[in-house]
Amino acid sequence: GAVVSQHPSRVICKSGTSVKIECRSLDFQATTMFWYRQFPKQSLMLMATSNEGSKATYEQGVEKDKFLINHASLTLSTLTVTSAHPEDSSFYICSASENDRPNSGYTFGSGTRLTVV
């Protein structure tokens, strides 16, 4: 089945530094990928829609200069948290839908636990 690999699974960084998270579709092509942030008590917030070869579409209230998204190929999207602060600490999850199977649902990565100290 479809697999999405997300890396790293855990990262600790200092305040003011930047962190890059990768999301790869391993055995399918995905024109569109999605980035979510998961807050305590489980809720998932859609941050942005990543589009291959074009600019990402950000949800209301998400700072595009803070959370940089690049989708340079049909199998890779990256999220860079710039100038990280402790309040950016969270669980970030990506997902992708197979181009050839639009009704198959989305495949999720295993998530990245970011801790900013």
- Restricted to residues 41-60, the positions that interact with another protein (CB under 8 A) are 41-44, 46, 49
Q: What span, in angstroms and rounded, lies between the C-alpha atoms of 18 and 49?
A: 20
Nearer to another protein, 66 or 111 (CB): 111
Nearer to another protein, 16 or 105 (CB): 105
Q: How many residues bind another protein (CB under 8 A)?
A: 21
- Restricted to residues 4-23, the positions that interact with another protein (CB under 8 A) are 6
Q: How far is the CB of 99 from another protein (least distance, A)?
A: 11
Q: What span, in angstroms and rounded, lies between the C-alpha atoms of 96 and 107?
A: 5
Q: How far is the CB of 28 from another protein (least distance, A)?
A: 14
Q: What span, in angstroms and rounded, lies between the C-alpha atoms of 67 and 83?
A: 10
Nearer to another protein, 6 or 78 (CB): 6
Q: How far is the CB of 109 from another protein (least distance, A)?
A: 5
Binding site for another protein (CB under 8 A): 6, 32, 34, 41-44, 46, 49, 93, 95, 97, 102-103, 105-111
